[in-house]
Amino acid sequence: MNIVIVGCGRVGATLAGDLDAKGHRVTIVDISTRAFERLPATFGGNAVRADEDTLRRIGAAEADVFLALTEGDNRNVMAAQLATEALEVKQVVAKINDVVRAKAYAELGIATICRTDLMTHALLGYMGLPVGPTPRIREAAPHTHPDGTSPVAAAIGGSTVGGTTVGALPTVEA
């Protein structure tokens, strides 16, 4: 698989190392080159210092999976929507630690993973307290409606580019 990970924090770096060791093509992106020190010495993928502007240039549009795992919920939200809407990546996950926002964006068509949910669940379980089902990645609404519009644009309404193919948007031509 061709995987793009945005955010080389603990999770991003560990995951990138794992996936690389399993033979996948991994590109990890961070705005700080120092962050790449977290990668294992054996890492053979691409580590690119870049911001959202440059996602297309690094080939994010060809990714099978796009994971937005920075420490900023909103940064992840924006990167994920860029990947979904402009780059048309099929599988996109955004880490959103705020529970309310995680739910809201899942409804808008972005698959979300919420550390708050995961940890709360694990700790309650450890204490032997009743817990709900194990939190999973909150599945996104299907990316495209039958009429070809994206759920994000449709739910929010008022897109001024109605009728334009999403891929034709000049978003990230740096």
Partner 1 sequence: MFVLVVGGGKVGYYLAKELIEAGHEVVLMEKDPGRAAQIADDIGSIVIARDGCEGNHLAEAGCERADVVAAVTGDDEDNLVICQMAKHHFDVPRTIARVNNPKNEALFRHLGVDELISPTRMILGSIEQDIPVHELLHLAGLGGGELEIIEAQLRQGSPAIGRAAREVPMPEGCAIFAVIRDDVAVPVRPDTILTEGDKVIAIGRAECEVALHTQLIGDPDGLQPAGA
Residues near partner 1 (CB under 8 A) are: 52-53, 72-75, 77-78, 81-82, 85-86, 98, 100-101, 104, 107-108, 152-153, 155-161, 166, 169-172, 174
Shortest distance (Å) from residue 4 CB to partner 1: 17
- Indicate the residue among 67 and 86 with the shorter CB distance to partner 1: 86
Shortest distance (Å) from residue 59 CB to partner 1: 18
Shortest distance (Å) from residue 49 CB to partner 1: 17
3-state percent breakdown (helix, strand, coil) of the chain, nearest 5: 40, 15, 45
- Indicate the residue among 38 and 75 with the shorter CB distance to partner 1: 75
Shortest distance (Å) from residue 3 CB to partner 1: 22
Burial 18-51 (b: 16+ CB within 10 A, else e): ebbeeeebbbbbbeeeebbebbeeebebebbebe
Collect all residues with Cβ–Cβ distance below 8 Å to 34 and sequence separation of at least 6: none
Measured CA to CA, the distance from residue 143 to residue 131 in angstroms comes to 31
- Indicate the residue among 32 and 42 with the shorter CB distance to partner 1: 32
